[in-house]
Amino acid sequence: MNQNVFIELVNPFKDKVFRLAKRLLASTEEAEDATQEVMVKLWNKKESLSTYNNVEAVAMTMTKNYCLDQLKSKRADNLKIVHNNFTDREPQLDKKLEDSNSLEWVEKIINQMPEQLQVLIQLRDVEQYEFEEIAKIVNMNETAIRVALSRARKKIRESMLNAHSYGIK
């Protein structure tokens, strides 16, 4: 496989690799390093990539594993999972503030969840992966993923309702 073919193969999902790494590592620099490391690993396996049905799923699995290894090896307090890759369509200022506040609440709620749920939310709700692809990446069955995501979303919804109802039911 030559370089141009390889680039055409990995370019469509390179940004997804970065966003997952950023989700897991929080630091842009660490995420860039992780993305580069995954791309190098893919390059080194370029001759065998054609044997995989879904190279993107392989890359996402490699990214997840690399990032989790980095987190385990460092266990630094400054490495935490954050989410800040959303887009803004310039709504009015009060709507921007309300949305920002809600996003902060959701981010806090998600950050309190177990690491595995955070990865599932990132892959499904942010990256829009299908359940089948997620199952391959995280090595879980699809039913377990659906149940875990349902419970996570319910917890987020309940926490948001509690935060915004100010005790009024």
Q: What is the pLDDT of residue 167?
A: 53
Phi-psi region of 47 (alpha: psi -120 to 50; beta: other; left: phi over 0): alpha
Its pTM stands at 0.54
Q: How many CB atoms lie within 10 A of CB 75?
A: 8
Cβ(155)–Cβ(145) below 8 Å:
no
The full set of domains in the chain, from first to last, is 1-75 (1.10.1740.10), 81-169 (1.10.10.10)
Report the mean per-residue pLDDT for the chain: 81
C-alpha closest to that of 59 among 45, 80, 79, 47? 45
Q: Cα 109 from chain centroid?
A: 15
Question: How many Å separate Cα 149 from the centre of its chain?
Answer: 13
When pLDDT is averaged across residues 102-121 and rounded to a whole number, the result is 87
Q: Which DSSP category does 113 fall into?
A: S
Q: Is 143 helix (H, G, I), strand (E, B) or coil?
A: helix
10 or 164, greater pLDDT:
10
CB atoms within 10 A of CB 24: 25
User: What is the predicted pLDDT for the residue at 90?
Assistant: 58
At 120 the pLDDT is 92
Residue 25 has a pLDDT of 86
Q: Which amino acid is at 61?
A: T
Residue 127's nearest CA partner among 37, 19, 8 is 19
Residue range 57-96, pLDDT digits in tens: 888 999 999 988 888 876 644 445 455 555 555 557 766 7
Question: Whole-angstrom distance between the N-terminal and C-terminal Cα of the chain?
Answer: 62
